[in-house]
Structure 1
Amino acid sequence: MSRLIVIGGYSLQTAQTIEIYNADKQNWVKFGDLNTQKYAFSAVQVKGTIILLGGAYSSGPTNTVESYNLDSGIKKTLRPMTELRKYPHVAVMGDYVYVFGGHNSHSDNIETVERYDPKNDIWTKMPPLPTGRHGCGVVVLNDEIYLVGGWSNNEPLSMVDAFNPTTRTWRKCSSMSVKRMWPGVTAVGGHVYAIGGRKINSHITEKYASVERYDPIIDKWTFVASINLPRFGIAACPFNENILAIGGGDGELVSTVEEYDVVRDVWRVIGPLNVSREITNAIIMP
């Protein structure tokens, strides 16, 4: 039976704790601690093993990569990325892990893209992003990897770009109606969903509850039902043919979890996290 876990977060304290969702009781159970000194990393699952990529230590961004066995708690050091990356954006497609953008040691938005081969522990450079960015959402749909929104040149983005790993080419998709930094992004039923997010104007942060759905066949975004709590830094993932929007921030870290009924177009609040967190990772484990 598949397990949904939440791992990592914006701060060192929240990044330590791993939680697992109990679907029968609709609550979260603390599973353990990572015992790491880094935070703001990305985490994905490859053949039952969690891979932790980039992030930051107190000294700044890192390019370190580790594998983590959820059941044994054993960590192994893997070959590091070629660049330092805080908040890297990561997707798994086929046998490879793709890493897009993020922040470097100068807090610049990174344009570079790398591909990791877990079998051979090798990194390969890929064509760069059309626009260097961080704070975007990334999701795989069909044969492409979509990067949605984000932050670049001191402004939030509505742009959407799709990368084809086979041809190693980028194409531009229709932009969202709303500029969104740190939206929760996932794909269900052949559509991409962008949930919440924020923008910053004149040092004022505006948080969003709105949700947009992208249809790749007609290249169009449409508004659907909004989440109950406006927030950004949501971990979004498919779950039992619905969507979960997990955690986030609304000025403070939140533990709120909401479930979206794709058929009925309705959100409902379900059991909260034990640890409030934003910019975290939701992973479905086999």
Structure 2
Amino acid sequence: MDALPDHILVQCLAWLPPQHQAAARLVCRRFHDLLRHGRALRYSLCRSRLEPWLCVLGGVQENKGHLLAEMYHPLEGRWRSLPAAPSSSCHNVPCVAFDGRLYVVGGFTGRPQMAVYDFEHNVWEEAAAMLEPREAFACGVIEGRIYVAGGLCRHYSTENARLRSAEVYHPEKNSWLRLPPMKEKRSCCASAVAGDKLYVIGGYSTPLILTSVEVFDPREGSWETCSERQEPWIIVGCAAIGPFIYVVGSKFTDMDRLELQVYDTIRGEWEDKGTIPVSKLLHGARCSLWGSAVVAMAGNLYIAGGSSSYDGGGLDSVIVYIPARREWISLPQMRSRRHACAGAVIYL
């Protein structure tokens, strides 16, 4: 290693997973200097093909107030743990990822805090808090900015607890700005970004289960209502693959029968993809996908975690829907059982 010039050595170090680069700095002064200045990470980000990693965090019982996270690479076929982030809330914490960072916003306590994991430096940091406390809200990234809308605020009266308000976070300024509110109050809604627009689907609005879909266009700075669902649905989560938003949920009258439906954002039409074979995939009729994280990665739909009726705890299972083959498969289990967890995809 001593004989290698810097430009060769930094290419070797670039192949280290980002979460292990901090440990590599302790090997010698030269490693420390190259990694401290981020040269290895910047080189890896400039490679011709960035690789997607699935990150899942939160939703772990009895974890002493720490936000536990882990990440999965399809080619490796195994899970790696990330450093725990101190947090007052470990459940219902929406997260997004971009530019080598993982952002965790809000949470079950309804506090407006935001934590950021920096993969280059292997540390968690605090960022500017939202303007309004909220939980169970819509969240998505468009052109490097984080958009949030709706949700529930425990600080307000029951009548006003559900929100219409929306905000946007500018990373370069570390600040939030208010946006025009949605047309309807809603919490426990699902959200996805398609075509550089934020789609907010379903949710609760006293005393109704909503069937409407609202979409925010940052270029226009306004909300519009899209094609409604024909009947109320309780939604687990959703994710976009191209112009199609895959939604996991069930009818209110049959919550044990989870289904997959697809919303075509171009045509404004819904398509039923059938019942999800939960019992077959999870090897137990008393397991459910409620409280799981729904994420799209590399053209496939990932569903991580869930709930178990055996002991009331979470699940460590991960299942995948492959649209090209219309097939469901199971992946290696996570290291932690999770319920009410969140997920995101980061390219490293």
TM-score by length of 1: 0.87
Deviates more, 1:95-104 or 1:10-19: 10-19
Q: Which residue does 1:181 correspond to in 2?
A: 234
SS in 1 for 2:130: coil
2:77 is the alignment partner of 1:26: yes
Q: Percent identity?
A: 22
CA contact (8 A) 1:181 1:232 kept: no
Q: Which residue does 2:101 correspond to in 1?
A: 49
Q: Which residue does 1:127 correspond to in 2?
A: 180
SS in 1 for 2:306: coil
Which amino acid in structure 1 is aligned with residue 58 of structure 2?
G
Pick closer, same or farther for the CA change 1:269–1:36 going to 2, 3 Å: same
2:59 is the alignment partner of 1:9: yes
SS in 2 for 1:184: strand
CA contact (8 A) 2:60 2:337 kept: no
CA contact (8 A) 1:191 1:213 kept: yes
Which amino acid in structure 2 is aligned with residue 49 of structure 1?
R
Unaligned ranges ≥5, structure 1? none
Deviates more, 1:173-182 or 1:209-218: 173-182
C-alpha separation in 1, matches of 2:303 and 2:271: 18
Q: Which residue does 1:210 correspond to in 2?
A: 259
Match for residue 234 of structure 1 among 277, 284, 292: 292
Give the C-alpha shift of residue 15 in structure 1: 6.4
CA offsets 1:97-133 (integer angstroms, 9 cap, x no match): 1111111124611111011111011211111121111
CA contact (8 A) 2:68 2:82 kept: yes
Pick closer, same or farther for the CA change 1:179–1:257 going to 2, 3 Å: farther
CA contact (8 A) 2:263 2:269 kept: yes
Larger helix fraction of residues = 2
CA contact (8 A) 2:243 2:266 kept: no
CA contact (8 A) 1:184 1:232 kept: no
CA contact (8 A) 1:197 1:233 kept: no
C-alpha separation in 1, matches of 2:221 and 2:257: 33
What is the correspondence of 1:220-231 to structure 2 with a 5 Å cutoff? Answer: 220-229=269-278, 230-231=288-289
CA contact (8 A) 1:213 1:223 kept: yes
Deviates more, 1:92-101 or 1:275-284: 275-284
CA contact (8 A) 1:41 1:88 kept: no
Alpha-carbon RMSD: 2.4
Give the C-alpha shift of residue 257 in structure 1: 1.4
CA offsets 1:12-61 (integer angstroms, 9 cap, x no match): 739622111142353433333223232332221131112221114xxx42
2:323 is the alignment partner of 1:262: yes
Which amino acid in structure 2 is aligned with residue 50 of structure 1?
L
Give the C-alpha shift of residue 222 in structure 1: 0.7
What is the correspondence of 1:5-154 to structure 2 with a 5 Å cutoff? Answer: 5-9=55-59, 13=63, 16-39=67-90, 40-56=92-108, 60-70=109-119, 72-105=121-154, 106=156, 108-154=161-207
SS in 1 for 2:240: strand
CA offsets 1:226-261 (integer angstroms, 9 cap, x no match): 322253233222222211112223654222211111
C-alpha separation in 1, matches of 2:217 and 2:307: 32
Give the C-alpha shift of residue 266 in structure 1: 1.7
Which amino acid in structure 1 is aligned with residue 293 of structure 2?
A
C-alpha separation in 2, matches of 1:6 and 1:246: 8
Pick closer, same or farther for the CA change 1:217–1:43 going to 2, 3 Å: closer
Larger strand fraction of residues = 1
Q: Which residue does 2:214 correspond to in 1?
A: 161
TM-score by length of 2: 0.73
CA offsets 1:172-215 (integer angstroms, 9 cap, x no match): 1122345233422011132111013574x7xxx82442110111
SS in 2 for 1:268: strand
C-alpha separation in 2, matches of 1:151 and 1:11: 26
Deviates more, 1:272-281 or 1:139-148: 272-281
C-alpha separation in 2, matches of 1:37 and 1:10: 13
C-alpha separation in 2, matches of 1:55 and 1:238: 22
C-alpha separation in 1, matches of 2:189 and 2:60: 15
Unaligned ranges ≥5, structure 2? 1-50, 279-287
SS in 2 for 1:90: strand
Pick closer, same or farther for the CA change 1:111–1:184 going to 2, 3 Å: same
Which amino acid in structure 1 is aligned with residue 101 of structure 2?
T
Match for residue 190 of structure 1 among 223, 243, 260: 243
Number of residue pairs matched?
A: 279
